[in-house]
Amino acid sequence: MRELFEKSLTFIKSNPGIIYSLFLLILIPLAIFLNTFYILKSFQKNIDTITHSKVVLAEDIINVSTQSYSKESPKLEDLINRVMIKNDEVKQFEFLNMNQEGDSFKIIASSEQSNVGKDTTEVQNILAWNQNEGIAFLGSDGQGRVWKITKILNDESGKKAGLVSLAISLDYSDKLIDATINKSYLILILTILVILLLVANNTRLFGYVLSFNRIKEVDKMKDNFISMASHELRSPLTAIKGYVELVTDRNKDTMDEESARYIKNINSSVDRLNSLVTDILEISKIEGNRIPFEITTFNPQSIIQKISEDMKFQASQKGLSIEYLSPSELPEIKADKARVEQILVNLVSNAIKYTTKGKVEISTKEKGKELLVTVADTGVGISAEEIENLFEKFYRIKNTETANVVGTGLGLWIARGLARKMNGDITVESIKGVGSHFTFHLPLA
């Protein structure tokens, strides 16, 4: 038992959110209970007030009807009998006269025949006699709550002639209140049971919290590992590339064709690995929302022109041409210069890689609150099915036309991720065998 308690305590300490859940579990039924309790108290108070009003009204009627014969016992007893027969709630009905000594009252008529003729010195009778309106208060008759009312009876001349005393039972209203209370408590118990069942049925949510925390820890470890691995991989890759360049420079005059091909393959593989390491590190930063952006307002004209010029050599090696349809003036945009250049280089590079003949064309258009930079090619094109998966991580179109194209399948995912971080986007339109149009959406300043 102690071990279970310690485990539970440790679990709660490591997951403080459970305390909040338990607090809610107690607070909700308590709020329901307090609300019910307040309503019932108000209900009971209203019932008592209504009953009191009825008693006062009945007393006034009795007062009027007994003014002319307040000292005639037979008539009073007849009145008492008629009232008692018609009203089950009247538990006691008496008429009293002040004794000659003035220190007590004599019961001249009563619903209980054994009380007739007796003297009484009850405090409420004396208090009522000394007041013009009489008194009324809540009390008990030994069986339940009653309203006890005592009022003055006046004779024909208006002088005090005696007292009338009534005891009105609250059994009926109390039974209604008790029934309501019992139903409220039943609803409260059922509510608590439902909450407990809900908690019991959803205890796995606590497991989800733990799993989520562990996933966050694993994700952090993954990011740390990727950063460390990227650094560790780049060092030997840089060394390999350096040694390859050194070997090439030293033996460029004596190196045979086969060795040169091997060196070229090594260089190509190193570049691919470097590109892969960079892309994986970039993905980790995007997913972890750790990429720094320096958002400024600038005109992208010079960046597009620079990329167009820089990529011409790469295009010419495949017999392609790059054309930038430069407008007279471009509007300013609000973005990160370095990231805009990175995305456009990726789009133009892809266009060159997947185009065997024809040209790559860069154009711009202002639309609404965006500047659209479109990179169009006359390459292999993309089918509608392939477009659906085009921006997924590590997705590459695999067919005879793309079999010899080198890539990791990460470039477009990274490009769109960076674009969206700058409140932009990348969209694509393509026809298989005709070419593709990739459009970079940039927010205007």
Q: What is the pLDDT of residues 356-372, one digit of tens each?
A: 888 999 999 998 899 99
Bridge partners (DSSP) of residue 364 are 373
Rounded distance between C-alpha atoms, residue 239 and residue 246, angstroms: 10
Once rounded to an integer, what is the mean pLDDT over residues 378-386?
A: 85
Is 92 within 8 Å of 125 (Cβ atoms)? Answer: no
Are residues 268 and 138 located together in one domain of the fold?
no
Domain span holding position 316: 292-445
* pLDDT category of residue 202 using cuts at 50, 70 and 90: low
CATH code for the domain of 390: 3.30.565.10
Structure tokens at 313: 């050599």
Is 134 within 8 Å of 47 (Cβ atoms)? Answer: no
3-state helix, strand, coil in the chain (%, to 5): 55, 20, 25
What's at 241, amino acid-wise?
K
Are residues 374 and 286 located together in one domain of the fold?
no
Is 377 within 8 Å of 358 (Cβ atoms)? Answer: yes
pLDDT of residue 24 exceeding 70:
no
Nearest to 266 by CA among 248, 287, 252, 251: 248
Q: Tell me which H or E stretch contains 34.
A: helix 17-65
* pLDDT category of residue 300 using cuts at 50, 70 and 90: very high
Of the residues 257, 291, 325, the one at which a domain ends: 291
Q: What is the mean pLDDT of the chain?
A: 78
Are residues 41 and 101 located together in one domain of the fold?
yes
Are residues 38 and 114 located together in one domain of the fold?
yes
pLDDT of residue 338 exceeding 60:
yes
Residue listed under structure tokens 């966050």 = 216
pTM of the model: 0.50
Residue listed under structure tokens 């006699």 = 129
pLDDT of residue 297 exceeding 90:
yes
Are residues 297 and 436 located together in one domain of the fold?
yes
Bridge partners (DSSP) of residue 354 are none
* Span 251-279, pLDDT tens digits: 777 778 888 788 888 887 777 777 777 77
Of the residues 202, 223, 255, the one at which a domain ends: 202
The reported pLDDT for the residue numbered 54 is 62
Once rounded to an integer, what is the mean pLDDT over residues 387-397?
A: 78
Which residues have a Cβ under 8 Å from the Cβ of 105 and sit 6 or more positions away? 96, 97, 98, 99, 119, 120, 121, 122, 125, 129, 162, 163
Are residues 196 and 59 located together in one domain of the fold?
yes
Are residues 257 and 173 located together in one domain of the fold?
no
The reported pLDDT for the residue numbered 275 is 75
Helix ranges (DSSP H) in 66-89: 73-86
Rounded distance between C-alpha atoms, residue 183 and residue 170, angstroms: 20
The reported pLDDT for the residue numbered 439 is 93
The reported pLDDT for the residue numbered 426 is 93
Are residues 268 and 417 located together in one domain of the fold?
no
The secondary structure of residue 295, as a DSSP letter, is E
Cβ–Cβ contacts within 10 Å for residue 296, how many? Answer: 12
Rounded distance between C-alpha atoms, residue 115 and residue 104, angstroms: 14
> What's the total number of domains in the chain?
3
pLDDT of residue 402 exceeding 90:
no
What's at 369, amino acid-wise?
K
* Span 105-114, pLDDT tens digits: 888 888 888 8
CATH code for the domain of 124: 3.30.450.20
pLDDT of residue 181 exceeding 90:
no
Are residues 232 and 190 located together in one domain of the fold?
no
Residue listed under structure tokens 């009653």 = 146
Are residues 315 and 278 located together in one domain of the fold?
no
* pLDDT category of residue 301 using cuts at 50, 70 and 90: very high
Are residues 38 and 133 located together in one domain of the fold?
yes
Q: Classify 423 in phi/psi space as left (phi over 0), alpha (psi -120 to 50) or beta.
A: left
Are residues 275 and 300 located together in one domain of the fold?
no
* pLDDT category of residue 16 using cuts at 50, 70 and 90: low
Which residues have a Cβ under 8 Å from the Cβ of 15 and sit 6 or more positions away? 206, 209, 210
* pLDDT category of residue 69 using cuts at 50, 70 and 90: very low
Residue listed under structure tokens 């202002």 = 366
Rounded distance between C-alpha atoms, residue 282 and residue 226, angstroms: 10
* pLDDT category of residue 437 using cuts at 50, 70 and 90: very high
Structure tokens at 425: 């986007």
* Span 237-251, pLDDT tens digits: 778 878 888 887 887
More confident residue, 97 or 252: 97
- CA separation (Å) from 262 to 72, 271, 326, 404, 406? 137, 14, 42, 18, 17
Of the residues 169, 184, 202, the one at which a domain ends: 202
More confident residue, 209 or 378: 378
Percent of the chain with pLDDT over 90: 12
Half-sphere exposure for 84 (CA within 13 Å, toward CB): 16
